[in-house]
Structure 1
Amino acid sequence: MTDSALPASLARARERLSQALKEAGRAKDSAHLLAVSKTKPPAMIRQAWEHGQRAFGENYLQEALEKQAELADLTDIEWHFIGPLQSNKTRAVAEHFDWMHSVDRLKIAARLSEQRPDHLAPLNLCLQVNISREDSKSGVMPEEAEALAMEIAKLPNVRLRGLMAIPAPAATREAQREPLAALRELLAALQQALPQAPLDTLSMGMSDDLEAAVLEGATLVRLGTAIFGARDTR
């Protein structure tokens, strides 16, 4: 993608989300774009920031840290880690990110809590749920999510905010909605079980299922190619 194309693609992504919210009968500010910037250069992130985008999602830790160093002057940028994380790499996420979307083990959450610097606000966490029960996907199984959430909610330097999922692809809007509805219902159950936790986030919906996700209550939708163009191969 050329530099001149990014503002238009970002505007189209925003309009698509706005239209989906309107069709779902939801408030226009009840869901936000998370711009998935993995493999994209810092200059493209800066340009998106200049056009009002603040939240960016990264999958690859070392790449993300290099971008953060180059973009350190953007003090109000919000960094979300959305990829799998090994336990020996938690410190960098604890020190350099605002959100972590892919927590599926207590060990990871506990290390993030222990390693979160005192001068930073608590790290926002989402539990990744394997909502379609795919062998190839990470995530806690739905029936195990409540017990894990109960333990994470006790940790001092993290804040459990909600759930994240990457459902299996589906051919129709109705089929797309089924696992997303299950995730929404799971969040509602957690809100009942943990009334003291600020459980307000459903991180779900990408380019192929954004509209279905908004219909089922998504609050963060993750768009990469739609904003930045085709990903660079790693």
Structure 2
Amino acid sequence: MTTDRGSIDYRLQAVRQQIINAAQQVNRDPKDITLLAVSKTKPMTMIREAYLSGQRSFGENYVQEGVQKINEATDLGDIEWHFIGPIQSNKTKDIAQHFHWVHSIDREKIARRLDEQRPRESGPLNVLIQINIDDEQSKAGIALSELKALATFISKCSNLRLRGIMAIPAADASESQQKSSFAALYKAFQELKTTHPNVDTLSMGMSNDLDAAIAHGSTLVRVGTAIFGARTEQN
């Protein structure tokens, strides 16, 4: 492990250790938790550095930027690309053709378009349904009451594979509200697993609430700044 505190390798090792510590605190196996490196706005040089440090899963918010990176990384055969941003109807074809995972499905129209536009030779697209757990007007996602219907629709799409749910709880939530939101998401995840056998992913938790999310059953955490440094806004 490098001793350069500013390097991506050092930061990755620190985040991985944080995940291990958080999992052990609640008697969970750290291997059951995937680290998704949120690489939006970051150059391919940084992604390649993270790849050399063993990171394989990367998350992108912007379709055009993500597709460009995917095309530049064709030599990295086992890299896995996740689209985690809001989905516009006119962007579904690029997402369906290039990404391995989509975290942000929140309506049937988007699911249908992704299903129709996914190349069969690429295999099913892994998808998560986004839940707006705290009913925030500024965020995408469905209410928990709508989950069953959307999950049933996606399960009938031959080119999509429903893997679970994703949520971004309110950033300014109190500790009790945060715990309540995480608990509700975990309960919904467990219920979804009973009716959809491919469901195995609960994507919740970022840099500021990673420990709490893991304590409440998260299987995938999304971390950007702690790995790559402060984000660079697009013009």
Q: TM-score range by the shorter chain?
A: over 0.9
Partner amino acid for 2:228?
Answer: F
CA contact (8 A) 2:111 2:154 kept: yes
* TM-score of the superposed pair, with normalisation by structure 1: 0.95
| Residue identity matched to 1:136 | S
Alignment of structure 1 residues 193-232 onto 2, 5 Å: 194-195=195-196, 197-232=197-232
Gaps of 5+ in 1: none
Between the aligned partners of 1:70 and 1:135, the Cα distance in structure 2 is 36
Pairwise CA distance, 1:22: 0.6
- SS at 2:54 equivalent: coil
Q: CA deviation at 1:175?
A: 3.3
Q: TM-score, normalised by structure 2?
A: 0.95
Give the aligned partner of residue 135 of structure 1. 137
Tell me what 1:102 maps to: 104
Structure 1 match to 2:39: 37
- What is the CA–CA distance in structure 2 between the aligned matches of 1:161 and 1:230, rounded to whole Å? 30
Hey, what's the Cα distance between the residues in 2 that align with 1:23 and 1:148? 34
| Aligned residues with identical type, % of pairs | 52
Does the 8 A contact of 1:173 with 1:212 survive in 2? Answer: no
Deviations 1:9-29 (A, max 9, x none): 111010111111111110121
| Amino acid across the alignment from 2:179 | R
Cα distance in structure 2, aligned partners of 1:134 and 1:61: 24
Task: Name the aligned partner's letter for residue 214 of structure 2.
Answer: V
Name the aligned partner's letter for residue 213 of structure 2.
Answer: A
Name the SS for the 1:102 alignment partner: strand
- After superposition, the Cα gap between the structure-2 partners of 1:39 and 1:49, relative to the gap in structure 1 and judged at 3 Å, is same
1:74 aligns to what?
76
Instruction: Give the C-alpha shift of residue 3 in structure 1.
Output: 10
SS in 1 for 2:32: coil
Which runs of structure 2 are paired with 1:11-30 in the superposition (5 Å)? Answer: 11-30=13-32
Deviation at 1:173, TM superposition (A): 4.2
Structure 2 spans left out of the alignment, 5+ residues? none
- State the shift of 1:67 in Å: 1.0
Per the TM alignment, residue 191 of structure 1 is displaced from its structure 2 partner at its CA by 2.1
